[in-house]
Amino acid sequence: MRFLKLLFHSHGHEGDQSLLKTVTFAITHFTVAFTVAYVLTGDIILGSLIAMVEPAINTVAYFVHEKIWARRIQRRQGESRHDRMSATAA
């Protein structure tokens, strides 16, 4: 459950756009994968199968990557605020 909360939790007051970015990335990736596979094989079925498997796995990996990246940025911003507050208090 904690993992799901990490994936879908909004980062910052405006939230992030990682899910929308992931969907548009997936559409682009599926299109490119199908085109390349079709051009290389000349087979619409094989091109479709390749375009279904590889981009699907890559899209999930991209979404997880975006969430980890957003947490990293959020953590760094928190550290910066903490450092500024410590310097002000001293």
Which segments of the chain have a pLDDT < 50? 13
**57 is a domain residue:** yes
Taking only the tens place, the pLDDT of each residue in 34-54 is: 999 999 999 999 999 988 898
The angle that helices 18-41 and 44-89 make with each other, rounded to 10 degrees, is 150
The rounded distance, in Å, linking the Cα atoms of 21 and 66 is 9
**CA 40 – CA 26 distance, rounded (Å):** 21
SS3 59: helix
Q: Which domain does 69 fall in, by range? A: 18-89
Report pLDDT for 22: 79
Instruction: Specify the pLDDT at position 63.
Output: 87
Domain presence at residue 11:
no
Look at residue 4 and tell me if it is in a domain: no
The total domain count for the chain is 1
